[in-house]
Structure 1
Amino acid sequence: MPSFDIVSEIDEVEVRNAVEQTNKEVGTRYDFKGSDARVEQADKVLTAFADSDFQLDQVKDVLVNKLTKRGVDIRCLDEGKVEKVSGNKVKQALTVKTGIEGDLAKRIVRVVKDSKLKVQAAIQGDAVRITGAKRDTLQETIALVKKSVDDFPLQYQNFRD
């Protein structure tokens, strides 16, 4: 039976490259001269440091620009709260979300079942597997999920006949 998987993955190499480019640009910009503005990456957590809230927003704008240019969907970024470090310095954690969380997976399964298409949806870890009898039905399901879930980046992989 034909099937495919709905997943949410981010290219970690592109994220690392975007962080390096952000640090390079922040280091050369005149408005950051003499400041401690930078972005650090620890696994899937990006931490933005700056001297003030305004500079923190500027660093995040540069990071978002670089991520977008590298093809990373910025809807996967989950912003933490802004914390004071020492003196006027601030930092903010940006978590890169990968995988489909339980609530979103249940929502996708509910959308597929409510559509009355002749397919089965099953949650498998951090992915959702869709199985159906016809390829056309699976393509209709992809279109339906793309239309109904637009707040999180999804990819459709392992399309098998």
Structure 2
Amino acid sequence: MISYAFALIVYICVVELPDQIFINLIYFYTKAIIIMPTFDIVSKVDAQTLDNAMNNAKKEILNRYDFSTSKSTIDHDKKTNVITIVTEDDMRLKAIEDAIISRMMKQNLDSKSLDFGKEVYASGNMIRKEISIKEGIDKETAKKIVAKIKASGLKVQASMMDDQVRVQSKSIDDLQGVIALCRSEDFGQPLQFINMRN
């Protein structure tokens, strides 16, 4: 639609208008459709990488001597993105949690994406614990991010969009400043910066 309108304007200007008017019209038209540089702040966990980390954690636990007689299980529900640990005692629970965090770090996954639930006692004197995977930026966290960006004084516009934050500015340097700012702050979950457009 834009290309057709542009072609029509060019045709009319070339045929009907003096050179200076033609140049001015082209300038204002192209200026009107220029989009300011933007990027999106998101919080995502790669599903395949996480699955690899969980499989490696399971193998590590199964091969440990102190788990040789254990009935411990680690289950990752990919639909709900919840990890469920079932084990005999607090010591083994801590060991499994450490294995999960360690294997995630080796896969370059940030453990801040883990939301640890409370331990509950299951049947057979077992302990059960659920760990939710944080994905998407919730409304409260998004508000904190936007407020922090506005308080920085950088000449940018930040707005909440679903489960992400969009930032735009005329200045690429200011956009890079926002990225540096967000990386220096702890918002309780890992952030990624994607869809950079300039």
Q: What band does the TM-score fall into relative to the shorter chain?
A: over 0.9
Q: 1:83 deviation in Å?
A: 0.9
The separation in 1 between residues aligned to 2:45 and 2:164, in whole angstroms, is: 14
User: Which shows bigger deviation, 145-154 or 54-63?
Assistant: 145-154
Q: 1:151 deviation in Å?
A: 3.2
Q: Find the partner of 1:145 among 182, 185, 193.
A: 182
Q: 1:122 deviation in Å?
A: 0.9
The structure in which a higher percent of residues are strand is: 1
Q: How many residues are matched?
A: 161
Which protein, 1 or 2, shows the higher relative CO under an 8 Å CA cutoff with sep ≥ 6?
Answer: 1
Please tell me whether residue 10 in structure 1 is matched to residue 15 in structure 2.
no
Partner of 1:113: 150
Q: Identity of counterpart residues, as a percentage?
A: 37
Partner of 2:67: 32
AA aligned to 1:63 is I
The separation in 1 between residues aligned to 2:144 and 2:118, in whole angstroms, is: 27
The structure in which a higher percent of residues are helix is: 2
The separation in 1 between residues aligned to 2:62 and 2:173, in whole angstroms, is: 52
SS at match of 1:81: coil
Q: Which runs of 5+ in 2 are unaligned?
A: 1-35
SS at match of 2:166: strand
Please tell me whether residue 19 in structure 1 is matched to residue 50 in structure 2.
no
SS at match of 2:118: strand
SS at match of 2:116: strand
Partner of 2:16: none
- Higher Cα Rg, which structure: 2
CA contact (8 A) 2:42 2:192 kept: yes
Task: Write the mapping of 1:12-161 to structure 2, written as runs, cut at 5 A.
Answer: 12-43=47-78, 44-149=81-186, 151-161=188-198
Q: Which runs of 5+ in 1 are unaligned?
A: none
CA contact (8 A) 1:108 1:149 kept: no
Q: 1:150 deviation in Å?
A: 5.0
AA aligned to 1:126 is D
Structure 1's 30 and 148: CA in aligned 2 closer, same or farther, altered over 3 A? Answer: closer
Partner of 2:12: none
SS at match of 1:58: helix
Q: 1:149 deviation in Å?
A: 3.5
TM-score by length of 1: 0.95
